[in-house]
Amino acid sequence: MLPATLLAKKRDGQTLSDAEIHFLIDGFCSGKVADYQMAALAMAICINGMQPAEISALTGAMVRSGDKLPRCSDRPRVDKHSTGGLGDKVSLILAPLLATCDVDVPMISGRGLGLTGGTLDKLESIQGFRTQLSMEESTKILRKTGVFIIGAGPEIAPADQRLYALRDVTGTVESIALITASILSKKLAARLDALVMDVKVGAGGFMKTLDQARQLAQSLIRVGAQSDLPITAILSDMNQPLGAAIGNAIEVNEAVDVLQGIGPPEVRELTIQLAANALVACHDDLSRDDAVAKLTKHLDSGIAMERFEQMVIAQGGRPDFPRPIGSELMIECPVDGWVEKIDCELLGQIVIELGGGRQQKQDRIDPSVGLQVHCRVGQRVRRGTPILSLHCDKRQHDEYRGPLEKAVIISDQSVRSVPLIIEQLS
């Protein structure tokens, strides 16, 4: 087989066989298929899509390009993945919470992409926290604490890491087929018994429409089933930030609040619902009501917070909370009314510009930069009450006061609140 022949075949909208897909991925990893050829394949997939069998073959080839995590206990192994959204700190809470329920949680996570913050970046705002561990180190931690949150090392799905770097610079990130294979190649390499997905829908997430979100969720569930990995998906609203905090250190602080039984109710609700899906998937004798009750108890009792601190220490971090954040600029509501819209894209862009996210891959993050949103869509607000707080270097306050004053739209008529959980799919 010649790579050029297979690329032309896919460019013409034809279906590639399992053998052809494995040939291309193996060749890409060995250097026999050049970067520009694989970039052309990604573009062809982005334009023409892939059949379900092709996506399964692509996922399998990516898994086969590296090693799998060893099993280190008889406990069920579960994980959660989010497509990313503004203020989404659920992973920081859910992973240690699930680990208190007699399951192992080997969470392989990522860094910020566009407006959406990365779990690894947030954790690295904790002094000393290590997100890059060898397979031996991570296995030892999993055996001891039942949970870790790390980045994918060179051993796990290296084909995905190389292909993702190409997708990022060639405008092919948004392909449902490539997203599915990218997510599941890492999750299958972790040898999971169940996976829960949080697919964000709206301006502050990656999938802007409900139709796109459904397509991605259904693709993940279908390929997971073909790979013997049960997957459930929650489609959750991302037309406003999740919780109040946006940033790195400030989101860690909010996650700690939820782990201590307080914090924004919407963050707590989504975390419990996702975690309950995971427990029910791997315990046939556990009802959903019992799963929710158990998870709620572990949050309120402080058991989940203790497990989070154990994980932080095991990964080299110092559990000193709250983490320091920048100087505060308060934005007050200009009129009486109801919150009609919160401009997620504007808020996310401001955090990035101030150093709370990356504009280029090599950019260093300032973990002290962040925002707090003191209102929700549909909420009644009064003139002079706080609606936003910016945390950054005080010298930058004046520059961002004007844009922030436009970030929350106030209506003089009542506005219906938006449900957090839109749909559940399995």
| Active site members | 81, 160, 167, 182, 186
CB contact at 8 A, 242 and 396: no
Nearest Cα to Cα of residue 116 among 267, 282, 225, 247:
247
Nearest Cα to Cα of residue 103 among 23, 190, 184, 13:
190
Report the C-alpha gap between 113 and 88 in whole angstroms.
12
Report the C-alpha gap between 86 and 273 in whole angstroms.
19
152-186 burial, b for 16+ CB within 10 Å, e for fewer? bbeebbbbbbbbbebbeebebbebbbbbbbbbbbb
Give φ, ψ of 356 to 5 degrees: -80, -5
How many Cβ atoms are within 10 Å of 32's Cβ, its own excluded? Answer: 12
Nearest Cα to Cα of residue 117 among 369, 405, 375:
369
Residues contacting residue 403 through CB under 8 Å, at least 6 positions apart: 346, 350
Q: What is residue 190's DSSP assignment?
A: T
